[in-house]
Amino acid sequence: MRDRPVLVRAALTVLSGPFALAAGVRGALYHRRWLPVRRVGVPVVSVGNLTAGGTGKTPFVAWLVTAAVARGRRPAVLSRGYGPRPAGSPLSDEGTLLRELLPAGVVQVEDPDRVRGARRLLASPTPPDLVVLDDGFQHRRLHRDLDVVLLDATDPFGGGHLLPRGLLREPPRALVRAHVVVLTRAERVPPARVAALRAEVAALAPRATVAVARTVARALVGADGAEQPTSRLAGEAVAAWSGIGNPAAFEALLGDLGARVVLSVRGRDHHRVAAADLARVLARATAAGAGRVVVTHKDLVKLRPLGPPPHVVALDVVTEVVEGGAELLARALSLSPTSS
C-alpha cells in the first residue's frame, strides 16, 4: 500500500477545493462591499492568523493588552469562544487562559456574533476605549481599524495548502489586508530564514509593518498556582502532554530548557480533557520513567478541575516582540474613537 499517502493527499486536495472556493467568494463579497461591515464606535484591533492555530496568538494578545493598560488605555478582549469550557469557568479554554494572563479588570466577552459581542462590551458600565478582537482576521463583518496577522516562522503558510490538506484558512495573498504582520517563534529558525520570510511578507503585504517576536519560557506553574523556575527542568526526564496547534514547538522549547522528553502525548487542539485522559497519561509517564509531566498553560486550565498531582506542571510562556514592537504599539494605541 505504498500509494496510500499519495491517495490521501489527493483526496485532501480535492476536499480543499470547495473550501478555497467558499473562502474566495466570501472574500470577494466583502471586498466589493456586497456583504455589510459593521462599525461599533470604538477602535478595533484584530489579532489573527492565516492558519488554523499554532502561531502563539494567546500570549501575543496578552502582551498587546498588557501594553495597552500600561499606557493608560482601557482595552477589552472580544473572541468567538471556540473550544470547551473548563469546569467552573464561564469562558472557553483559551478565554480562561487569557483571564489568567491579562491584567486585573480587563473585560472579556465571548460571542460567535462578534458585532453583538462588541455592542455588549460598549454597553458595560465602564466601556472600553479599545477592543482587541481575538482570532478575527477571517471575521470581516466587524470593522477593524488595525489587522495584525501572526505567522509562525517555523511554518508560516501551513504546509502550503488550504484546509483540510494543509492548515491555511486563506491563501497567502490574503495578507494584503494586513496592517501589521508579526513573525512569531523567530528563535526557532536561523536569521537567514527570518530575513527571507520578511521578503516574502513584503511582496505579499507591501504596506504592512513587519515585527518579529520570540516565545520565552517564564516559569513552571502548578495546578495550585505555585511557581517554580524553569531551571528545574535541566537534565530531568519529562513527559510532554499538549493539545495545541503546534505541539512540536512546545516540545522543542522543553528541550531548550534542558529537559529530556521521554514521552510525547499530543492531543487535538481544544480537546476536552477527562479524568480518564489524565489517568492514562500519568500511567504512560510512569512507565516511560518521566519524573514530571509538563503541559501547556492552556491545557492546565482544563486539567485543574481534575485535581492533577503536584508533578503535573504547566510551562508558562510569554511573547517578546524583539523587532518592530514600538511601531506596532504606536499604530495600535494611537487609535481613537474618532478614527474608527
pLDDT in tens, 35-47: 889 999 999 999 9
* Among the listed residues 270, 233, 223, 226, the one whose alpha carbon sits nearest the alpha carbon of residue 253: 233
Q: What is the pLDDT of residue 29?
A: 78
pLDDT in tens, 51-72: 987 899 999 999 999 999 999 9
| Mean pLDDT for all residues in the chain | 92
CA distance 132 to 216: 23
Asked if residue 2 has pLDDT above 70, the reply is: no
Q: Which residue type is seen at 175? A: L
pLDDT in tens, 223-276: 999 999 999 999 999 999 999 988 999 999 999 999 999 999 999 888 889 999
Q: What is the pLDDT of residue 272?
A: 87
Kindly report the pTM of this predicted structure.
0.92
> What percent of the chain stands above pLDDT 90?
79
Q: What is the pLDDT of residue 82?
A: 85
Give the burial class of 274: count Cβ atoms within 10 A of its Cβ; 0-12 exposed, 13-18 middle, 19 or more buried: exposed
Q: What is the pLDDT of residue 340?
A: 57
* Residues 6+ positions from 106 with CB-CB distance below 8 Å: 65, 69, 75, 76, 77
CA distances from 74 to 69, 103, 116, 118 (A): 6, 11, 19, 14
- Domains located in the chain, CATH noted: 44-216+320-339 (3.40.50.300), 217-317 (3.40.50)
Q: Which segment of 1-10, 211-220, 233-242, 256-265 scores lowest on mean pLDDT?
A: 1-10
